[in-house]
Every structure is written in structure tokens, then in C-alpha cells.
Amino acid sequence: MLKKRIIPCLDIKDGRTVKGVNFVGLRDAGDAVELAKRYVQEGADELVFLDITATVEKRKNLTGLVEKIAREINIPFTVGGGINSVEDAQAIIKAGADKVSINTAAVDHPEIVSEIAAEFGSQCVVLAIDTKLEDGEWKVYIHGGRTPTPLHAVDWALEGERRGAGEILLTSMNNDGTKNGFALDVTAAVSAAVNIPVVASGGAGTMQHFADVFQQTRASAALAASIFHFGEIPIPRLKQFLKQQNIEVRI
């Protein structure tokens, strides 16, 4: 059985790690390079770096910062934000990323998923889906959660898989930063629908929340930010807790 992965996320704005609630109210969470080094020491399975304003500001990703982080870590590294072409993906991978995460560009031009997968392999392509519950339906949002689309999360995840995405990063905007737990319903629906790994994101506040998402959905990994950044839940303690719940993790 594949072990479940624990993934810290560095949301980057103006070169610093930040964290908000429901995608707004950002506050500083520290130096990205120092946090990345700490997470390797603590036993994180992977690291995600999201340049959260690159798309809105219509600029490229912070490749210089990506290079600095990549030099300091030896775990799989996913980078997203401002990736709009195969060339952008190539620059990020050249800077040291193992995978690229695409969100807005994939909605605007779905063929980009296939193009990047054809160039670098599906294992390099993460389809990031920011979703919000509206009138009983989980709708997809783009531009850092600012712009609604008519897409439904499950349908879009299936489309992404069909086009060559190797992983889904599923973030519930309703749950993001609330520490009230992951959105188990949409995570269960998406992870049951696709045959590629799903990373659950948004809402982790306790160790039990991680156990819940692994026991009640088919999520392959769980991602969190502030509870790791501010030391509220140390990764080694979380993994020991999950192991006690008979959830297979890498210790």
C-alpha cells in the first residue's frame, strides 16, 4: 500500500511566505528558504511552492527563489504560479522543480496540460483546482481564487486527468485557513473519480483532521501551511499520530 504523504505549502507573495484565511487577509509566515530547510529536517515528504500573485500580476514565477530553495532540499518539489506555457514550465524545472502546478492557465487553455505532459511526462504535471461550495455545487475558481468559472471540481479533475495531469492539488476555498478540517465531501468525490493521486488542501487544524481525510477519502496526500509554519503541529508528531491510527506514512 502506498504511504500517505504530508506536504507543507509555501504560499509566496513579494518573496516572502504568507498565509491567509479563505484566500484573503495574508500575514507574513517567514523566510521561504529557511522554512524549506526546516521541513526537510522534520521529515516532510514533499514541498509545494505557490507564487500566489504571479498570475494576477501577469508576471513570471520567481525562478530565483525557486533555485535557492531547490539547492537546499532533497525531497520532491512542486512549483506553481505564473506558468502559462511549456517554456515557463521548462524554466521552473530547470530552476530545480520536480513538478509544475498549473491552475488558471489550464482553465484558459486546457491544451497546456497535454503539452507540458508530452514534454516532461505526466508525473511533472499537477493540476491545481481551487474550488468553492456555491448553492450545493463545488465550482472551480481561477486567478488566485478571485474569478469564478462554470466548471465543476469533479468534472474538471477528470478532464485534467484525461489531458495528462499526473496529480490533482485540490484546495477548498471555504475551508482554507479556517483550521476546521478538510472538505471531506469534495475530496472524497474527486479522489474517487480519478485514477491519479489527489492532494487534499485547505482547512487542516488538528492531527485528527489529517486522519479524517485519509480514512474517509482516497486522498494520497494532505497539504497544510500555517499549522506547520508556526509550529502548531510538528510534522514528526503528526506522522507518529497517523501511524497510531494505522495510516501508513513514511517515518
CA 136 distance to own-chain centroid:
24
Rounded to a whole number, what is the distance in angstroms from the first to the last CA of the chain?
15
Give the span between the Cα atoms of 182 and 175, in whole angstroms. 6
Selecting among 11, 51, 88, 98, the annotated active-site residue is 11
Selection from 230, 183, 224 nearest residue 205 by Cα: 224
Known catalytic membership, residue 130: yes
Say if residues 193 and 154 touch (Cβ distance below 8 Å): yes
Cell readout for 198 is: 489527489
What angle is formed at CA 141 by the lines to CA 94 and CA 204, rounded to 5 degrees? 80
Q: Which of 51, 130, 176, 212 is catalytic?
A: 130
Q: Is 88 a catalytic residue?
A: no
Among 156, 162, 165, CA closest to 132: 156
Burial 1-18 (b: 16+ CB within 10 A, else e): eeebbbbbbbbbbeeebb
- Whole-angstrom distance, CA of residue 218 vs CA of residue 50: 24
Q: Provide the residue type at 16 as one letter.
A: R
Tell me the catalytic residues: 11, 130
